[in-house]
Amino acid sequence: MPTPIEARLEALASELKRAGISYRKLSPMADTGLAHDHVWVHRSDGDDWVARLPKQSQMNLPPQENLAYQAACYQRASPGGHMPRFYGTLPPSDTLPRGGLLVEAIRGRLAQLPDDLPAIADALASLHRQPLPSLAARKPLLAPDDPWQAMVTEVRQQANWLSDAQLSSKVTQRIQQELDMLSPRLRDATPTLISFDTHPGNFLIRDDGRAVLVDLEKCRYGLPGIDLAHTSLYTSTTWDINSQAVLSLGEVITFYRRWQTAMDETPSAETLVACRRATWLWSLTWCTKWRAQHLNAKDAQQRGEDWSAELTDAAVIEHVRDRVEHYLSLPIIDHVHSELQCLQASL
């Protein structure tokens, strides 16, 4: 009986053969996330690929639509030079029910904070400077008419899991207080192409110092302040087990200013701080959702979103559980709240 990893490799080998794709060797990569398995595809020409094999769809899409969405993410983002090139998809099949995505393999080290923040700021600016396509050409990526209101709506929808997360009444009350502080509207809410998942663990640093954002699954046309926040918030910089850091207020401000320098025009400080609050609350409410759902059995039909712990290595689940409990604690909620207040006055 093959192990789950061996079964995935056999399935991938079968689908690569079916697609007429040659390779020298397949090497499974460490299981570090909740959404994909990754396999390094060694090719004879040295131009290696990575196969991204979905465990679920964080966009809650059926398998074929999920692949098309992710393909569009890589195709739209890679012209900036800081994201992997896209090579193709493997369609859903009996052996790979959610299919797979083939992208450029990036050789580099994990990002280290705060030293690599300037390179990450440049990478984000390369994404946010991408020309906006016409409204009709933005599909299949999300492109809401009002990107701020769409973000607020998404946060509030996730907040519905507060009642099922079995938190203390004090924690629930504090999160609700923060939710009540979300601005109903913003004066400047011009959209750009954004990643929506830019925590530092998703970046690799090449030998030449260039930062590459390797995980593109949730791209959309939204507010760039969301990406800046997701990179530098406490709930992001302490998430990844291999690149944890607690940034000072000065380091956060320097990061924002580096990005502003690389952009042609930037949102107001008010908008950037509003995006930071909303992104933090998105992360907190996601934690409540995961806390409520992760003990569920995995979806046997492998359809859309699925946070079942059965899909991921037990050590990774234990790490996620630790982070979720930490972020949903009163001292950490108060810590991030205080930083937001200081940033509002300093940025």
Q: What is the pLDDT of residue 1?
A: 64
Of 118, 112, 111, 110, the residue nearest 252 (C-alpha): 118
Instruction: For residue range 5-46, list pLDDT tens digits in order.
Output: 788 899 999 999 999 999 999 999 988 888 899 999 999 888
Q: Is 126 helix (H, G, I), strand (E, B) or coil?
A: helix
Q: Please, are residues 200 and 228 in contact by the beta-carbon 8 Å criterion?
A: no
Helix (H), strand (E) at residue 221: strand 220-222
Q: What is the mean pLDDT of residues 298-306?
A: 77
Q: Is 222 helix (H, G, I), strand (E, B) or coil?
A: strand
Q: What is the pLDDT of residue 6?
A: 81
| Residue 251 neighbours by CB distance under 10 Å | 16
Question: How many Å apart are CA 262 and CA 259, to the nearest integer?
Answer: 5
- The domains of the chain, with CATH numbers, are 4-104 (3.30.200.20), 109-346 (3.90.1200.10)
Of 18, 327, 323, 101, the residue nearest 201 (C-alpha): 323
- For residue 59, is pLDDT > 70? yes
Question: How many Å apart are CA 229 and CA 223, to the nearest integer?
Answer: 11
Please say whether the dihedral angle defined by the alpha carbons of residues 259, 261, 264 and 267, taken in this order, is positive or negative. positive
Q: What is the pLDDT of residue 7?
A: 85
Q: What is the pLDDT of residue 347?
A: 75
Q: What is the mean pLDDT of residues 59-83?
A: 95
Instruction: For residue range 130-140, list pLDDT tens digits in order.
Output: 999 999 999 99
Q: What is the mean pLDDT of residues 84-97?
A: 95
pTM of the full structure: 0.94
Of 149, 140, 144, 119, the residue nearest 258 (C-alpha): 119
Ranking 33-37, 125-129, 254-258, 281-285 by mean pLDDT, the lowest is 33-37
Q: What are the residues facing 42 on neighbouring strands?
A: 25
- For residue 217, is pLDDT > 80? yes
Distinct helix (H) and strand (E) counts, the chain: 11, 10
- For residue 3, is pLDDT > 80? no
Mean pLDDT for the chain? 93
Q: Please, are residues 225 and 196 in contact by the beta-carbon 8 Å criterion?
A: no
- For residue 344, is pLDDT > 90? no
Q: What is the pLDDT of residue 239?
A: 92
Ranking 46-50, 118-122, 139-143, 298-302 by mean pLDDT, the lowest is 298-302
User: Which long-range contacts does 34-42 make (Cβ < 8 Å, 24+ apart)?
Assistant: 34/307, 34/311, 34/312, 34/316, 34/320, 35/217, 36/215, 36/217, 37/8, 39/8, 39/9, 39/12, 40/105, 41/16, 41/102, 41/105
- For residue 274, is pLDDT > 90? yes
Q: What is the pLDDT of residue 218?
A: 96
